[in-house]
Amino acid sequence: MKIFDYFETISSIPRGSGHEQAISDYMVDFAKQLNLEVIQDSANNVYIYKPGTKGYENSKPVILQGHLDIVWEKDKDTDFNFETQGLELYKDGDWIAAKGTTLGADNGVAIAYQMAILADNTLEHPPLEIFMTTEEETGMGGVRNMHGEYLKGRTLINLDTDYEGEFLVSCAGGVRVRINMALSAEQIGTTAAYNMKIHNLRGGHSGAEIHHERANANVIMGRVLKILNSKLSIGIACVNGGTKDNVITRECDAIITVDANKDNELKQLIAQLDAMLKSEYSAQDPDITIELTPTTTNTIINRECVNKMLNLITLLPNGVIGMSHHIENLVETSLNMGIVDTTDKNLHITFAIRSSVETKKHEMVSKIMDLCEIIGAHCEAAEDYPAWTYKEHSPLREVAIKVYEKMYDKEPVIMAIHAGLECGFISQKLPQVDIISLGPNVKDIHSPQERVSISSMTRVYEYLLELLKALN
């Protein structure tokens, strides 16, 4: 099926968030080769227009929307340059994955669907407006800067859902919070030094998978360091974990020092903590591991700064804060400590905060700011994005349900998601727009274990074609 050829093609083009110029240009050329009208805006968003087929010439336009960018994450032992190399895809039974890296099915599936529909002149459909956005994964920069006047349709199918048979009709809003705290370093003499690594965690999407309560390596590192410090008065040279705020952190490293006469005591305590964590996370992260490797360091963070840093990391909230009282099993508010990074002079922490209730989102920001003020850190919130509010009356949803029931003799699941979709911004930019979101089964997005089901990707494409036929 052509969708897999297109998926393989775009997987060969580096397209991480902020690096979409090449894929955006490719889509413009793709449209021109098909003799279709195309617009590329200053944010590298792409708008492609395909006329309605016979019998649909006067139907209202339908917008198909997805994002061009992907999350760049790789296993630490994988030698891979995302900026210059194409992804190495492979099949494992019914699944497609990438060797040692994220796959980019989020949201490469949407782009493959869009390309296949644009290129196939045997299909029946209304006028189509194909809308491809950029920087979705790092603050939704593309959709923030979209040109609403380029889109005439008010029926939009977002293709950024990762569970077949589920139609999303609402999503959370979010905001990024950055914390900075000044540090000072001091020289040390001869002492035992170790790189302490917390790893082998599953990670995952910090919104859609936050309810699984998987271990966050940054949070665990703060906890472990605080215990070690209270019992052994360790020195800490640096702490580094995570590269994306919207990914549940899988690995975190710290360089620590300890008096030579406490070396064996340190190793025994690490073994105890490792066993404790394996027990606590036996269901969510059974492979969690604390590993010590000898190293060297000439400097450590001074004692006063260490105490403030560990208090901050361990007191900051993380994970699910509250559940919705309106939609069963929906997380209402959460936050994820995605990045912890120290230099000789600063501690940097970055959070992704999400909520389907705007006031609860800002309450969490306020609480973090208050805590930072008490401890002596600077905090700022940026890249706020709105929630997508549920519509009581949705003709698109009604048609989508009928088509699904006819094809599969069962009802789809109508649900909201605790993750940010571009639908929030789109609903602001396009007044009265009617939106649903759908997609195939994609597992472990935003992690090197990401994979997409071949059979599900095929079925959802076939369903999408039937849905377009019904929108006349």
CATH code of residue 206:
3.30.70.360
Q: Can you name the residues that pair with 89 across neighbouring β-strands? A: 98
**Element of type H or E holding 350:** strand 346-355
Residues 180 and 166 reside in one and the same domain = no
The pLDDT, as a whole number, for residue 14 is: 98
Residue 160 binned pLDDT confidence (cut-offs 50, 70, 90):
very high
Same domain, 141 and 114: yes
Please name every residue paired with 355 in a beta bridge, in sequence order, or none if there are none: 173, 333
Contact (Cβ atoms closer than 8 angstroms) between residue 453 and residue 183: no
Contacts of 79 (CB under 8 A, 6+ apart): none
Beta carbons of 414 and 374 less than 8 angstroms apart: no
* Three-class secondary structure of residue 372 per DSSP: helix
Measured in whole angstroms, the distance separating CA 192 from the mean position of its chain's CA atoms is: 38
Q: Average pLDDT, stretch 74-80? A: 92
pLDDT of residue 354: 96
DSSP state of 448: T
Residue 92 falls in the annotated catalytic set: no
CA distance 147 to 345: 42
* CB 239 within 8 Å of CB 198: no
User: Catalytic: 136?
Assistant: yes
pTM for this prediction:
0.76
* Structure tokens, 39: 């617009």
Whole-angstrom distance, CA of residue 404 vs CA of residue 418: 24
Q: Is 119 helix (H, G, I), strand (E, B) or coil?
A: helix
According to the model, what pLDDT value does residue 328 have?
Answer: 85
Q: In whole angstroms, what is the distance from residue 420 CA to residue 422 CA?
A: 7
What residues make up the domain containing 34? 2-172+387-470
C-alpha to C-alpha distance for 442 and 421, rounded to whole angstroms: 16
Where is the domain boundary, 369, 385, 401?
Answer: 385
User: pLDDT class for 326, splitting at 50, 70, 90?
Assistant: confident
190 and 299 both lie in a single domain: yes
Catalytic residue among 20, 106, 129, 136: 136
Alpha helix locations (H) across 200-328?
217-232, 263-280, 303-315
State what percent of residues in the chain have pLDDT above 70.
100
- Split into its structural domains, the chain has a count of 2
Of 341, 360, 385, which marks where a domain is finished?
Answer: 385
One-letter amino acid identity for 16?
Answer: G
Mean pLDDT within 255-273: 96
Confidence band, pLDDT 50/70/90 cuts, at residue 420: confident
Helix (H) or strand (E) holding 286: none
Of 385, 408, 425, which marks where a domain is finished? 385
On the question of pLDDT at 190 being above 80, the answer is no
The verdict on 213 and 309 lying in the same domain is yes
β-sheet bridge partners, residue 238:
255
pLDDT at 344: 82
Q: pLDDT at position 460, please? A: 99
What is residue 191's predicted lDDT score, i.e. its pLDDT? 86
Q: How many CB atoms lie within 10 A of CB 333?
A: 21
- Residue 373, both tokens: 């003020």
Encoded tokens for 224: 């472990």
Q: Are residues 197 and 324 in the same domain?
A: yes
